Structure 1
Amino acid sequence: MPVYDLHCHSTASDGVLTPRELVQRAAGQGVNILALTDHDDLCGLVEARATAEACGIELVSGVEVSITWRKATVHIVGLHFDPTDERLARGLDQNRTGRALRAERMAAELARLGIAGALEGAYAFAGNKDLIGRTHFARFLVQRGVVKDVKTVFKKYLVKGKPGYVDHEWASLADALAWIHAAGGQAVLAHPGRYHFGRERMRDLLKEFKELGGDAIEVVTGSHTADQVPVYADLAVEFDFLASVGSDFHAPGEGGRELGRLLPLPLRCRPVWEAW
């Protein structure tokens, strides 16, 4: 049975491996079909596709779009689209605007805590300067010795309500779905178990996502525990969504799961790739 991994990141956003290195690692881990889903940017796809062809695996066009839904940041993965589509390109460019200003505000908040040099430190970890984000700040804080690992940085500093967090207004849910669908792709709600919305708020999100034409949700992901997989499998069936799988790999040994090392997709789910 083919091994799918439909969510991962390279240096084109907040991963630490180049697209070439990432695809080579995926092939070495036995992945047969890989989607590179960098945040709000497609610049890694050409290199990734050439490497995939050389390694004998299939690369699926992917992207992870940040959106704001009821004042919370949510991620929508786009899969299997035309990467040359102009409407999608314009939308992603629009979403990238403002990242630099947010980074400056985050650095200022950290400076108030006595952590100097955070802006320069974060940029040193950003392979794509246009995609500066929280993970780059997290790696800087680990390097500085402020905390032991990236996961702890987020818990102490970089999630809503913590001192280094800065609100930002991303694209709307409707806009993100429109961009992905204009390019002929599928819109997938990424790692729903990460949002800690509670039962009713999650159901509200899934209902709105469905009404706007959302195609799938991630059921098996590096962010979901074994106990969460059947919960989101049931929701996928209830709302008639296709189901996706992805490690959300960013870096070797940096939380989450290794490329391709995923729990099985429950048999009651219809896989997202059945429509390809």
Structure 2
Amino acid sequence: MLIDLHTHSRRSDGTDSPTELVENAARAGLAVVALTDHDAMTGWDEAQIAADRVGITLVKGLEISCTFRHRGVHLLGYEPDPSDPALLAELEQVLRGRQDRLPKTLAKLNELGIPITEDDVLAVSGDAAATGRPHVADALRIAGVVASRDEAFERFLMPGRPAYVDRYAADLEHMIRLLVAAGGRAVIAHPWTRQSRSVLTAETIGELADVGLAGLEIDHNDHDADTRAALRAIAGDLDLVVTGSSDYHGTGKVGYDLGINTTAPDQAVRLLGDRVTLFR
């Protein structure tokens, strides 16, 4: 029973439509797949139609850009009420931050002598809920400036690089509370990657559990064996759910294939059993 609780479609920065993602999940042998686009729930209806047709279980989720003690942390939210007004208002502010960053990023690239335009980026982003750095990276790749998204981030778009622009992100504790109030479950995505490791200690994860954090995404390509073991110990001490996921982005992220990391069925039941009929 293969369960993958973190994937992205073209409604954020993946390359599959929601339908294609679900179809590819079924081909990969998944029984359960979560659609967790960045800061948006716009792909859920299309994905559900596909999931009903191909006979797998869809978990409706999203990955929310947050800040915690001045560091970026990503939060996976599962099965919240999509009409909850407080949650929608905060997500709208996060998405507005993504949109507002685009012209500033392009201005910095233009100053570097790279003539990328907003139309170039929008041609890539298509029906995404918001246009973000991965779409800028794809436009740079199409223009021949870089060979891949990874190169675009490394040369231009990461913090400290010449075209990086900061943006609004939700406060992590506040967002956990919003998700819980909206009937959802909150899991920290890839907690010990990039900036987040320095602030997500055993102590602070415990504090987040006290405000409603349900689990940690531990089995992820960006965590090595030692990292996974250390996070498992923290999750065990705090009685948090342990999840595993691919963080699939289609062709936008090489080596993160559907099902490459999975969530154990008993952990999925702990997390979602009262919200989703997981096993058909």
When normalised by structure 2's length, the TM-score is 0.89
Per the alignment, do residues 256 and 216 of structure 1 end up closer, same or farther by CA in structure 2, a change over 3 Å counting? farther
Corresponding position of 2:233? 234
Per the alignment, do residues 210 and 118 of structure 1 end up closer, same or farther by CA in structure 2, a change over 3 Å counting? farther
Deviation at 1:79, TM superposition (A): 1.1
Corresponding position of 1:224? 223
Q: Which moved more, 1:180-189 or 1:67-76?
A: 67-76
Corresponding position of 2:278? none
Q: For 1:73, what is the secondary structure of its paired residue?
A: strand
Q: For 1:58-105, what per-residue CA distance to the aligned partner results, in whole angstroms no more than 9, with x for missing partners? A: 001101111122222211000133334333223222221232221111
Q: Which moved more, 1:71-80 or 1:57-66?
A: 71-80
Size of the aligned set, in residue pairs, is: 271
Tell me, yes or no, if the aligned pair for 2:13 and 2:128 is still in contact at 8 Å: no
Q: State the percentage of identical aligned residues.
A: 35
Per the alignment, do residues 173 and 22 of structure 1 end up closer, same or farther by CA in structure 2, a change over 3 Å counting? same
Is 1:111 the counterpart of 2:120? The answer is no
Corresponding position of 1:161? 160
Corresponding position of 1:13? 12
Per the alignment, do residues 7 and 198 of structure 1 end up closer, same or farther by CA in structure 2, a change over 3 Å counting? closer
Per the alignment, do residues 256 and 180 of structure 1 end up closer, same or farther by CA in structure 2, a change over 3 Å counting? farther
Q: Which moved more, 1:28-37 or 1:230-239?
A: 230-239
Q: For 1:151-175, what per-residue CA distance to the aligned partner results, in whole angstroms no more than 9, with x for missing partners? A: 2221222111111111112111122
Aligned AA for 1:274? R
Corresponding position of 2:192? 193
Corresponding position of 1:260? 259
Q: Which moved more, 1:17-26 or 1:252-261?
A: 252-261
Corresponding position of 2:270? 274
Distance 1:99 1:39 in 2: 10
Q: For 1:92-124, what per-residue CA distance to the aligned partner results, in whole angstroms no more than 9, with x for missing partners? A: 222212322211111111111111124332221
CA RMSD after TM alignment: 2.2
Q: For 1:68, what is the secondary structure of its paired residue?
A: strand
Distance 1:247 1:107 in 2: 30
Tell me, yes or no, if the aligned pair for 1:99 and 1:130 is still in contact at 8 Å: no
Distance 2:147 2:53 in 1: 38
Q: Which moved more, 1:228-237 or 1:80-89?
A: 80-89
Tell me, yes or no, if the aligned pair for 2:2 and 2:262 is still in contact at 8 Å: no
Tell me, yes or no, if the aligned pair for 1:9 and 1:15 is still in contact at 8 Å: yes
Tell me, yes or no, if the aligned pair for 1:110 and 1:118 is still in contact at 8 Å: no
Q: Which moved more, 1:254-263 or 1:108-117?
A: 254-263
Per the alignment, do residues 5 and 141 of structure 1 end up closer, same or farther by CA in structure 2, a change over 3 Å counting? same
Corresponding position of 2:276? none
Q: For 1:169-219, what per-residue CA distance to the aligned partner results, in whole angstroms no more than 9, with x for missing partners? A: 2111122112211221110101112224555x3205424422322111101
Corresponding position of 2:200? 202
Tell me, yes or no, if the aligned pair for 2:246 and 2:258 is still in contact at 8 Å: yes
Q: Which moved more, 1:157-166 or 1:245-254?
A: 245-254
Per the alignment, do residues 149 and 180 of structure 1 end up closer, same or farther by CA in structure 2, a change over 3 Å counting? same
Deviation at 1:261, TM superposition (A): 2.0
Per the alignment, do residues 179 and 197 of structure 1 end up closer, same or farther by CA in structure 2, a change over 3 Å counting? closer
Aligned runs of 1:22-41 on 2, under 5 Å? Answer: 22-41=21-40
Aligned runs of 1:55-134 on 2, under 5 Å? Answer: 55-128=54-127, 130-134=129-133
**Relative contact order, CA 8 A, sep 6+: which one is greater?**
2
Unaligned runs of 5+ in 2: 274-280
When normalised by structure 1's length, the TM-score is 0.90
Deviation at 1:46, TM superposition (A): 0.4
Tell me, yes or no, if the aligned pair for 1:87 and 1:182 is still in contact at 8 Å: no
Per the alignment, do residues 66 and 119 of structure 1 end up closer, same or farther by CA in structure 2, a change over 3 Å counting? same
Q: For 1:98, what is the secondary structure of its paired residue?
A: helix
Is 1:147 the counterpart of 2:146? The answer is yes
Distance 1:133 1:254 in 2: 15
Per the alignment, do residues 41 and 113 of structure 1 end up closer, same or farther by CA in structure 2, a change over 3 Å counting? same
Distance 1:178 1:197 in 2: 19
Is 1:174 the counterpart of 2:177? The answer is no
